Amino acid sequence: MAEAHTDAPSKDDEMRLTEAEIAVHWKEEEYFHPIPKFIGQANLTDPSIVERFSEKNFPECFREYADLLSWDKYWTTTLDSSNAPFWKWFVGGKLNVSYNCVDRHLEKYGNKAAILWVSEDESEPVVAITFQELYARVNEMAAVLRDFCGLKTGDRVTIHMPMVPELPVTMLACARLGVIHSVVFGGFSGEACGARIVDSGSRVLISMDGYYRSGKVIDHKVAADIAVKKAEAEGTKVEKVLIWRRFREKSASSTPLVEGRDFIVDELLKKHAGARVAPVSMPAEAPLFLMYTSGSTGKPKGVQHSTGGYLSYVTAASKFIQDIHPTDIYWCMADIGWITGHSFIVYGPLALAATTVMYEGVPTHPDAGRPWRIAERLNVNIFHTSPTAIRMLRKLGPDEPKKYNLRFKCMTTVGEPIEPEAWLWYYRTVGRSQASITDTWWLTETGGFLCSTKPAIDPMKPGSTGPPMPGIYPIIFDENGKEIPPGSSKAGNICIRNPWPGIMQTIWGDPERFVRQYYGKYNKDKNSKDWRDWPWLAGDGALIGKDGYIRILGRIDDVINVAGHRLGTKELESACLTVPEVAEAAVVPIVDPERGRVPEVYIALKPGIKADQAVADKVTKAIETEIGKIARPRTVRIVPDMPKTRSGKIMRRVLASISNSMDYGDITTLANPEVVEQIRVQVQGAGPVEKKAGPEDIRRFGETT
């Protein structure tokens, strides 16, 4: 790459059109209030929590969260900043995560469902796993991992599995041993999985033969073979591949087992039937898991989360924001392969002894009434999903929720800004105007929510995430580090001024990148041990209203948020460059009414290569192979040349403007300004600029709203 690339968003923003730049702004909405029935039963009704978690009580206020857990040894130091910004929470404390999520509930809730699993195939019965049964399964799997695989505390294991109960069983078995799991989203390709195996240094891969997706059984084992091959080519030998089976009686995959490497988990479990494995008492700051996510460079980063801090934080977030009680039937319709699933399908709800619902398949399969049938049948009373799912369900079945007896007391959204229109449908048609809605803003890096309304205390405001969580002190900076005060109508870069227990510990294997990316922009004294000198850069554009409610505008870096999933433009571009005919590639986000953003790809071909559909198809295929189907571009556009600065940088901003029918601004400083109009005509046709995105909705980042 010709340019020197830094992780922290640079001032050289001529390079890119950020998500925030094309962010949609909505007019200020009115407030909606929680109903007395909800308030009467809520976990958090005392507004003094804000005062208790104010700066004068920091960091000791977070004891309240850690006290929700069972500790083997109580901690001595709440926050150790001596190696800032590598924060250590609850130092000296010891605990085990699987004990906290399973064992400690046995006495009171042993016979209650911990997991209710719903197959995509509607004719397959729901599977209920009690806490007692979960305990047995986690122990047996822990015995397999320890005694058959030889895994021990601190080893890494990559898990590439679909949405089946065996996935949380495997995660909890790792946690029982202090083995660090790295769950890769099941929809990611074998190549993407292989790259993550290499980065984490896993010698064991845990996979599954197949699963249902949109009515078809997908052969998933084939991805394991590709992953192992890819890892081996890059110098990491995977010694064992454990394969769970989707069906007891038959294999869901036609891919053969590799002798001596691949093992069917059910057969291994038979040998460990009835095994009990003592939970390993882990230091609070031991890593619990890695979650790979996209950033500004081509290489996904392994976000490392801790044991004690992370579990304390997600348990409190589930209890106070999602209002989870042990008697609730809670359903988060995300995938465990993302951070939302880790924190809010597995760890938070199970630490609180709730019943957590897992659904295998596509929400609209076989029709847009499916989620509501599941909710009615299982008597779900807390529901958690993304704006993309809400938009999709509303579009395909606006009246479907009315056909079912829904009784949600609270509902959450996460992952993208939600437009007031979709919010109102969610509130009125799904929630029957009875449920409190929380719009939770956070990131893979933050473990749990950073901003949200407190559902029994704060009124809701469609389109705004809400005030900061207790003990989170946000600040909005402009490019030069000057604060943009609340109530000003200017947006800027949102940072959190303080560390909190759920914050990531580091980037696996790359601590310098961690410091550079999240603190490089606004830290002024690298040697400071005072947390006040280390504002944490989230990577989103945002503004704070007069009422303290925060509006998130979207990413300010090279990340595209597709249907709530983070994709790095650099990752997509390097996938394009694996096609031999391609000389240059640029990926830009385009506004999409359902998926929020989708990637559009521009490519320039090597000299002498004919521009035809076959090359474009190869590029799409390459993206699917390297990353997965979720990254599939809307369009691949073959252009004669890329618009470039005189120093040779591709002007993505110009391409994104063309794709989004926006004014592309001043291009006089380009090396080849003539190509811009050529591309515009190619994309939009001759004639005046078509304004398909609705210019009144689209404002430039930094302008008033």
* Residue numbers at the binding site for ligand WTA (CB under 6 A): 293, 338-340, 414-417, 439-444, 465, 539-540, 552, 554-555, 561, 566
CA distances from 237 to 178, 198, 310, 509 (A): 22, 9, 30, 18
Q: Strand 216-219 relative to strand 210-213: parallel, antiparallel, unpaired?
A: antiparallel
Contacts of 216 (CB under 8 A, 6+ apart): none
- Phi, psi (deg, nearest 5) at residue 640: -65, -35
Q: Which helix (H) or strand (E) holds 377?
A: helix 370-378
Sign of CA dihedral 304, 309, 315, 317: negative
CB of 524 to ligand WTA, least distance (A): 24
Nearest to 246 by CA among 121, 332, 374, 102: 121
Using CB atoms within 10 Å of the CB of residue 646, give its burial: 0 to 12 exposed, 13 to 18 middle, 19+ buried.
Answer: exposed
Measured from each CB, the residue nearest to ligand WTA is 444
- The C-alpha atoms of residue 637 and residue 190 are separated, in whole angstroms, by 26
CB of 637 to ligand WTA, least distance (A): 25
Q: Which of 171/676 has CB closer to ligand WTA? A: 171
- The C-alpha atoms of residue 263 and residue 193 are separated, in whole angstroms, by 19
59 three-state secondary structure = coil
CB of 416 to ligand WTA, least distance (A): 5
Length of the chain: 705
- The C-alpha atoms of residue 448 and residue 315 are separated, in whole angstroms, by 9
Q: The tokens of 569 are what?
A: 């433009």
- The C-alpha atoms of residue 106 and residue 111 are separated, in whole angstroms, by 8
230 three-state secondary structure = helix
Do 411 and 344 meet the contact criterion of CB atoms below 8 Å apart?
Answer: no
Q: Which of 338/408 has CB closer to ligand WTA? A: 338
Q: Which of 307/444 has CB closer to ligand WTA? A: 444
Nearest to 97 by CA among 26, 177, 19, 166: 177
Q: Which of 120/416 has CB closer to ligand WTA? A: 416
Helices (H) and strands (E) in the chain, counts: 21, 30
Q: Which of 339/638 has CB closer to ligand WTA? A: 339
CB of 565 to ligand WTA, least distance (A): 6
Q: Which of 264/630 has CB closer to ligand WTA? A: 630
Q: What is the DSSP secondary-structure string of 165-197?
A: THHHHHHHHHHHHTPEEEEEETTB-HHHHHHHH
Contacts of 331 (CB under 8 A, 6+ apart): 356, 357, 359, 374, 375, 378, 380, 382, 383, 384
CA distances from 529 to 68, 525, 598 (A): 29, 9, 41
Partner residues linked to 211 by β-bridges: 218
Using CB atoms within 10 Å of the CB of residue 328, give its burial: 0 to 12 exposed, 13 to 18 middle, 19+ buried.
Answer: buried
CA atoms within 13 A on the CB side of 220: 30
CA atoms within 13 A on the CB side of 110: 8
CB of 423 to ligand WTA, least distance (A): 11
Q: Which of 144/627 has CB closer to ligand WTA? A: 627
Q: Which of 561/574 has CB closer to ligand WTA? A: 561
Biggest CA pair distance of the chain: 74
CB of 451 to ligand WTA, least distance (A): 8
Location of structure tokens 């800032």: 84
Q: Which of 295/363 has CB closer to ligand WTA? A: 295
CA atoms within 13 A on the CB side of 284: 29
Q: Which of 244/441 has CB closer to ligand WTA? A: 441
